[in-house]
């Protein structure tokens, strides 16, 4: 198995790269999806979140009210750290299970672990390659306001709540520049796939 850690800040184009690699044959493990699974009703994580932040962050059916929780944690570093201390261990466990499943199903598989918080969460997996999707902060803020409907202030807070570009680039084995158009990003993803297939 060949394990790629793919990371990048919010609106960096990371998901576009992950989808392309999956189209080319990689097994895609999405940390955001696992984070949603980790806090489903009935899990220990959702109980810990309600205990720490109050039942106002839950919907009536017991599911997580992400908007309510986000309004708390993305403006308060201490609250964000408390949330991460609950969610990250649960996600690490689910990730280990998915990686083991992929290797068992095909020992020659290429696995892309798509993880926005690779730096912040101190992800423990031994990656064969760490890839960082990188776009300028102004580009990412424009994407968040245009495509996701955030206000400029909200977009800046979301960007600032994550690791800095310098912290992410410091762990990169390979950087994919996503400041250009879609075709340029996809061409770099295709080149990455060829490199990985040769290595694997």
Is residue 123 pLDDT above 90, yes or no?
no
Q: pLDDT tens for residues 88-120? A: 899 999 999 999 999 999 999 999 999 988 887
Chain centroid to Cα 9, Å, comes to: 8
Q: 162 versus 29: which is more confidently predicted?
A: 29
pLDDT score for 178:
96
Q: What is the mean pLDDT of the chain?
A: 93
pLDDT score for 63:
96
Predicted confidence band of residue 125 (pLDDT cuts 50, 70, 90): confident
pLDDT score for 5:
96
CATH architecture of 2-199: 3-Layer(aba) Sandwich (3.40)
Q: pLDDT tens for residues 178-199? A: 999 999 999 999 999 999 999 8
Assign 3-class secondary structure to the chain.
CEEEEEEECCCCCHHHHHHHHHHHCCEEEEHHHHHHHHCCCCCHHHHHHHHHHCHHHECCCCCECHHHHHHHHCCCHHHHHHHHHHHHHHHHHHHHHHHHHHHHHCCCCEEEEECCCCCCCCCCCCCCEEEEEECCHHHHHHHHHHHCCCCHHHHHHHHHCCCCHHHHHHCCCEEEECCCCHHHHHHHHHHHHHHHHHHC
Rounded distance between C-alpha atoms, residue 150 and residue 145, angstroms: 5
Is residue 83 pLDDT above 80, yes or no?
yes
Predicted confidence band of residue 33 (pLDDT cuts 50, 70, 90): very high
Q: What is the mean predicted confidence (pLDDT) over 6-34?
A: 96
pLDDT score for 167:
92
Q: pLDDT tens for residues 40-63? A: 999 999 999 999 999 999 999 999
């Amino acid at each position: 198995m060949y394990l790629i850690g793919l990371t990048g800040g919010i609106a960096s184009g990371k998901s576009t790269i992950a989808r392309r690699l999956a189209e080319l044959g990689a097994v895609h493990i999405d940390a955001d999806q696992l984070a949603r699974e980790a806090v489903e009703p009935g899990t220990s994580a959702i109980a810990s979140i309600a205990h720490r932040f109050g039942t106002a962050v839950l919907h009536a059916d017991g599911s997580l009210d992400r908007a309510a929780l986000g309004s708390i944690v993305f403006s308060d570093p201490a609250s964000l750290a408390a949330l991460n201390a609950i969610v990250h261990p649960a996600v690490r466990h689910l990730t280990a299970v998915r990686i083991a499943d992929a290797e068992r199903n095909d020992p020659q598989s290429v696995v892309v672990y798509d993880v926005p918080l690779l730096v912040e969460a101190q992800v423990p997996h031994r990656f064969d390659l760490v890839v960082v999707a990188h776009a300028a902060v102004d580009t990412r803020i424009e994407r968040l306001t245009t495509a996701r409907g955030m206000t400029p202030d909200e977009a800046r807070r979301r960007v600032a709540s994550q690791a800095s570009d310098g912290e992410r680039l410091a762990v990169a084995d390979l950087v994919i520049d996503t400041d250009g158009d879609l075709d340029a990003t996809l061409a770099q993803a295709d080149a990455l796939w060829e490199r990985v297939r040769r290595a694997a």
